[in-house]
Amino acid sequence: MSFTFSKATKKQSRLRFDIEGPPGSGKTYSGLAIATGLCPPGGKIAVIDTERGSASKYAGQFTFDVLELDNFAPAKYVEAIAAAEAAGYDVILIDSLSHAWNAKGGALEMADKIAKRSSSGNSFNAWKDVTPEQNKMVDAILQSRAHVIVTMRVKTDYVLEKDERTGKTAPKKVGLAAVQREGMDYEFDVVGRMDHTHSMTITKTRCSAITDAFIEQPGEQLAKVLRDWLTDGVAEPEPMRMPAPVKVDAVQARLEHPRLKMLFDQLGAPPAKRLATLERYPDNDKLIQILEGKVKEEDLAKEKIKGVFAKQLAGVHDEPAPGQEAPQ
Ligand SMILES: Nc1ncnc2c1ncn2[C@@H]1O[C@H](COP(=O)(O)OP(=O)(O)O)[C@@H](O)[C@H]1O
Ligand SMILES: [Mg+2]
């Protein structure tokens, strides 16, 4: 056999996107919004719904077809993906992939059942049967001709931590590992972590335009950046920008709040960023505290938001390039 190197090209044109987050953070909604932005004109979106019709509550806002699964064996996912492919869907949203791990019929239950049937009662050997099933499901996702977006739940862990200010020990939320086989996130081009403000922090990406991006209410604009990236041979994707804020008079008026104005000026926050921030934090006092760095953080997620938020206000990530101002 001869080993020949050939010039590397970006052959891939289909996205593999993993959206992770706790319940209510925006996995389903953002998945639908991004799927809608990725879908070519006249194309169609298939949703494989394991959450008992939870995607369908957004049927008024997005156009998609849905298949509800009630058994979550990895093989069922493979069948559902194959059915979506056969029907010619352009984007497949799997909501959620966590069920294939820890819900009825999922990998953990399969391993458990096999172990109980075996003479040793040991689950170690059971994985010899379950892992290939799991791998087939991953292959079906990776080989699909459609864009595939998956969602994964995260589990919350707590550690006891001493608060230096008060000297008291209190439980603190940490970890937030995705509910799936360890390392599942490696299979995806982009991994986004949702938080309770429905913002997404990009924790892993092969698309450099969104490295470490913090995206409020991700949707169409993120999809556009990804579409550009997937289209080989075209110009570099535009840097990620904040969505154009919806202007509300009350928010406009708050722009003139003397203390807020001074803090924004100090941070060098551009006008669009000020509006978006004011919309996100309707309480002036609370926002002032945040901008002054005085808010006691209750959990890691908030800490992270604050960190990225402060960085954004300083204009690190997403300033529009000259001549590319977001339409107002
Ligand atoms: N990208 C987004 N843009 C705007 N609103 C969002 C977004 N993501 C979530 N939301 C809001 O959060 C709510 C809960 O989101 P959902 O996707 O159902 O959460 P999850 O699937 O994580 O449980 C939605 O009904 C919507 O109001
Ligand atoms: Mg959901």
Class of domain 16-230: alpha beta
Evaluate the CA torsion angle 218, 61, 82, 67 in order and state its sign: positive
> Minimum-distance ligand to the CA of 22?
1
Q: Report the percentage of the chain scoring pLDDT > 70.
A: 81
Summarised one tens digit per residue, pLDDT across range 57-66 is 999 999 999 9
The number of the ligand 1 atom at minimal distance from the alpha carbon of 25 is 22
The number of the ligand 1 atom at minimal distance from the alpha carbon of 58 is 25
Residue 102: pLDDT over 70: yes
Question: What is the distance in A from the centroid of ligand 2 to the CA of 24?
Answer: 7
Residue 322: pLDDT over 90: no
144, 85 Cβ separation under 8 angstroms: yes
Q: CB-based contacts of 41: which residues, under 8 Å, 6+ apart?
A: none
For the chain, the structural domain boundaries read 16-230, 249-313
At residue 51 the predicted structure's pLDDT band, cuts being 50, 70 and 90, is very high
Residue among 318, 313, 309, 323 nearest 210 (CA): 318
Ligand 1 atom 4: residue of nearest CA: 217
pLDDT at 326: 42
Question: What is the distance in A from the centroid of ligand 1 to the CA of 210?
Answer: 21
DSSP-derived secondary structure letter, 214: E
Residues with CB under 6 Å of ligand 1 are: 21, 23-30, 33, 198, 217-219
Question: What is the distance in A from the centroid of ligand 2 to the CA of 34?
Answer: 14
16, 187 Cβ separation under 8 angstroms: yes
Give SS3 for 162.
Answer: strand
Summary mean pLDDT of the chain: 83
- Enter the pTM of the model: 0.69
Structure tokens given for 138: 């991953």
At residue 243 the predicted structure's pLDDT band, cuts being 50, 70 and 90, is very low
Question: What is the distance in A from the centroid of ligand 1 to the CA of 57?
Answer: 11
Residue 248: pLDDT over 70: no
Residue 317: pLDDT over 50: no
Ligand 1 atom 8: residue of nearest CA: 26
pLDDT at 3: 86
Summarised one tens digit per residue, pLDDT across range 141-166 is 999 999 999 999 998 777 777 888 88
**Greater pLDDT, 161 or 175:** 161
Mean pLDDT of 45-55: 95
Mean pLDDT of 180-202: 93
